[in-house]
C-alpha cells in the first residue's frame, strides 16, 4: 500500500496503476475510519482491480461554529484499516496541498441542497461539491463509493456528476450499523455513555416508520410527527430536523397527503443533537412492501 501526501505523488502512482491496466474504485473519506468505511473499501476493491482511499478533513465543508477543530483523527489506525481492506493507494494531503490558494471557483448544486443538512449547515454542500470535484479530477476513478448515511451527500454528488458529465459511476452503499442499530459515524466517539445508550432511538424510530407506512391513512405530517415524538423519548435528544422527502430529488411533500398515495421513493431523514454531538440517520422507505 502506497501513501501519497502530494498531488504529484498521487498522479505518478495512479499512472503506474493505469499503465498496469487497473480499474480504480475510489473511497473519499475524512478519516477516523470505521466499519462503514471498511465496507466501502472492500466493495471498491471487489468491483475494481485497485482501490484508492483519500483521507482529508475538508475545512471548506465545516461552518464557522462546527466541529472542524475537534473532528477526530487517527492516521495510524486509518492506515492499518486501509491495509487490511486491500487498499492500493492512500491519498492523505495537507490542507495547503489541497488548497494552495483560496479557491475562487464554487461548485454549487441547487434544489437538492435546500433541505436537511443543506438547510442546517449553510455552505456545507458547497464545500463537499468543491472537494469531491477536486478529488474526482485527481483520482479519475472508474467508480466512487459513498455511504448512504449521508444520503443527501449521495443525492448531491449524483446530481453533480450527471450535470457536469463526470466520467465516473457513483455507487451508493448501505449504512453499516452497530448491533443495537446505531449508524456508524466517526462522531459517535464524542457520545457520553448515556448519550450513546439513547442514540439508538434514531434507528429505532426509522425502523418503526417502516411499519407505520403500512397504515393506508397515514399522512406525511403524522408520520413526521410520530417520528419526532418517538425520538424525543430520549431525554438528551434535541431534534435538528426530521423530514420526509422524495429521493433522490429531495423535494418536499404536502403535509396532508397520504404516504400510501405517493409514488416516488421516499426518504425519512433525521439529524439529532446529543449534547454538542450531532448525529444523522435515514431510511429509504420501502413502500413496495405496503
Strands (E), 137-265: 143-147, 169-173, 237-246
Task: Return the number of the residue (106 or 239) whose C-beta is nearest its own copies.
Answer: 106
Q: Can you tell me whether residue 201 is helix, strand or coil?
A: helix
Query: 175 Cβ partners below 8 Å, 6+ apart?
Result: 36, 147, 148, 149, 183, 184, 281, 282
Q: Output the CA–CA distances (angstroms, integers) from residue 48 to 27, 41, 64, 174, in the order listed.
A: 12, 11, 38, 18
Q: Assess contact for 23 and 49: CB atoms under 8 A.
A: yes
- Min separation Cβ 113 and its own copies, Å: 9
Task: Return the number of the residue (106 or 189) whose C-beta is nearest its own copies.
Answer: 106
Choosing from 37, 124, 137, 230, the catalytic residue is 37
Please give the angle made by the CA atoms of 109, 141 and 143, to the nearest 5 degrees.
Answer: 75
- Min separation Cβ 194 and its own copies, Å: 42
Residues lying near its own copies in the complex (CB under 8 A): 7, 11, 103-112, 129-130, 133-134, 137-138, 140, 159-160, 163-167
Task: Return the number of the residue (164 or 194) whose C-beta is nearest its own copies.
Answer: 164
Catalytic residue list contains 37: yes
Q: Assess contact for 279 and 190: CB atoms under 8 A.
A: no
Task: Return the number of the residue (29 or 159) whose C-beta is nearest its own copies.
Answer: 159
- Min separation Cβ 138 and its own copies, Å: 5
- Min separation Cβ 268 and its own copies, Å: 23
**Residues assigned a catalytic role:** 37
Amino acid at each position: 500500500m502506497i501513501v501519497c501526501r502530494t498531488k504529484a505523488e498521487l498522479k505518478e502512482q495512479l499512472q503506474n496503476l493505469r499503465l498496469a491496466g487497473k480499474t480504480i474504485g475510489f473511497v473519499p473519506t475524512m478519516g477516523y475510519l470505521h466499519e462503514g468505511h471498511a465496507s466501502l473499501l472492500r466493495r471498491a476493491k471487489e468491483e475494481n482491480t485497485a482501490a484508492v482511499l483519500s483521507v482529508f478533513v475538508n475545512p471548506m465543508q465545516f461552518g464557522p461554529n462546527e466541529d472542524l477543530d475537534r473532528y477526530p483523527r487517527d492516521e495510524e489506525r486509518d492506515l492499518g484499516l486501509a491495509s487490511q481492506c486491500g487498499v492500493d493507494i492512500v491519498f492523505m494531503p495537507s490542507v495547503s496541498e489541497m488548497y494552495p490558494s483560496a479557491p475562487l471557483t464554487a461548485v454549487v448544486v441547487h434544489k437538492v441542497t435546500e433541505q436537511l443538512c443543506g438547510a442546517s449547515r449553510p455552505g456545507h454542500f458547497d464545500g463537499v461539491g468543491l472537494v469531491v470535484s477536486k478529488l474526482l479530477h485527481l483520482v479519475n476513478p472508474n467508480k466512487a463509493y459513498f455511504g448512504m448515511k449521508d444520503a443527501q451527500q449521495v443525492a448531491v454528488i449524483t446530481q453533480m456528476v450527471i450535470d457536469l458529465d463526470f466520467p465516473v459511476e457513483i455507487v451508493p452503499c448501505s449504512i453499516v450499523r452497530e448491533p443495537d442499530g446505531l449508524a456508524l459515524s466517526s462522531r459517535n466517539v464524542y457520545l457520553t455513555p448515556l448519550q450513546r445508550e439513547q442514540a439508538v432511538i434514531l434507528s429505532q424510530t426509522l425502523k418503526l416508520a417502516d411499519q407505520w407506512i403500512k397504515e393506508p391513512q397515514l399522512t406525511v405530517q403524522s408520520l413526521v410527527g410520530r417520528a419526532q415524538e418517538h425520538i424525543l423519548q430520549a431525554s438528551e435528544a434535541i431534534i435538528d430536523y426530521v423530514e420526509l422527502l422524495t429521493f433522490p430529488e429531495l423535494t418536499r411533500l404536502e403535509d396532508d397527503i397520504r404516504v400510501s398515495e405517493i409514488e416516488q421513493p421516499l426518504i425519512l431523514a433525521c439529524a439529532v443533537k446529543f449534547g454538542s454531538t450531532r448525529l444523522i440517520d435515514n431510511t429509504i422507505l420501502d413502500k413496495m412492501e405496503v
